A = this chain, B = another copy of it.
């Protein structure tokens, strides 16, 4: 029946008094400095544990000028699960540390940007994980000015030579997707991509073209379309594709979310997946396996990207070396039910069943 104590927390001074050493020595023990006699250290550690000592971070922060916090900053609205997956990875990397994430995106509100800059200046931010930033990003520039460690996840444009980044192997992913569709016999393969300005779009598209060329399939420009990364525009663009005189038999799509729009456009035309059209996504979001039919897609390790970026930030904060400036994480293909071998044209040739 230990009584819950709501008393104000222990201080180093109290521990010092209880142990008969100085506050300086207690501090040294807590900070694992080497210049403490083993016997003293042991005695202090025991008291610390027994009394349930708790470090006052505000005090340390005031003294040292840092805060035990890193910011999670998204270049756009926080309206997509995409960012959430990355955030979960950040959380995971921080699980065993005593660093916290702060969601600090300012969404381009001027007042909020001011506030954020203030926090920066006041030393309230030890580091940052930036999603969808490029070298012209407000955040990145401010962070550099203050020399605060940062890592960009999935850069949205060009980065400076000193900027660190973590992304997916987009080129390889685009190539793999296309090779898979080719292996199923498809030749007329459309690419319904996301935001054209995003480097990941460019890279995936380059992978797509490369795979086609390797297979001696001519690249038909009318088969490449762009949209933002959301459902609505994908739905529209797919409708455009379906208005073509000669339809593709497969589509490689910019992300899973867009695939929902693609499914819809197909359903509206009375076309079924994968019988009439193979659909291949990108991301492998949790819902991909539960779409009907279950979506074949390229896995983008968003959670892992968040985790890796966070670990890099942590190393930078601790002044430890970071191995690579540009990390790219693998993008395997997850085969489900939305892709099938190309059907022969109706009445063109009848293959024996089996």
* Chain A residues with a Cβ under 8 A of chain B: 4, 6, 9, 54-59, 61-62, 67, 69, 78-79, 81, 84, 87-88, 91, 95-96, 98, 100-105, 107, 109, 111-112, 115, 118-119, 121-124, 145-147, 231, 257, 260-261, 263-264, 267, 286-287, 290-293
Q: How far is the CA of A261 from the CA of B54 in the complex (A)?
A: 47
Contact between B58 and A121 (Cβ–Cβ < 8 Å)? no
In the complex with contacts A103-B91, A103-B100, A292-B267, A122-B55 CB distance below 8 A: yes
- Chain B minimum-CB-distance residue to A98: B115
What are the residues of chain B within 8 A of A115 when measuring CB–CB?
98
- Asked if residues B292 and A54 are in contact (CB atoms below 8 Å), the reply is no
Residues of chain B within 8 A (CB-CB) of A231 are 290
Interchain CA distance A55-B118 in the complex, whole Å:
7
Question: In the docked arrangement, what's the CA distance between A47 and B55, Å?
Answer: 36
Interface pair B124/A58, CB less than 8 Å apart = yes
Contact A122 B264 (CB under 8 A): no
A57 x B122 contact (CB < 8 A):
yes
| Contacts A115-B98, A260-B287 given; does A122 touch B88 at CB 8 Å | no
Chain B residues positioned under 8 Å from A91 (CB to CB): 78, 103, 105
Contact A62 B67 (CB under 8 A): no
Chain B CB within 10 A, most for which of A6, A118, A261: A118
* Cross-interface CB contact of A290 among B56, B81, B104, B260, cutoff 8 Å: B260
Q: Is the CB of B96 within 8 A of A88?
A: no
Q: In chain B, what residue has the closest Cβ to A101? A: B103
11 contacts between A and B (CB under 8 A): A6-B147, A56-B62, A56-B123, A57-B122, A57-B124, A69-B102, A98-B115, A100-B104, A101-B103, A257-B290, A292-B292
Given known A4-B145, A54-B118, A61-B58, contact A111–B96 (CB-CB < 8 A): yes
Residue on B with the closest CB to A104?
B100
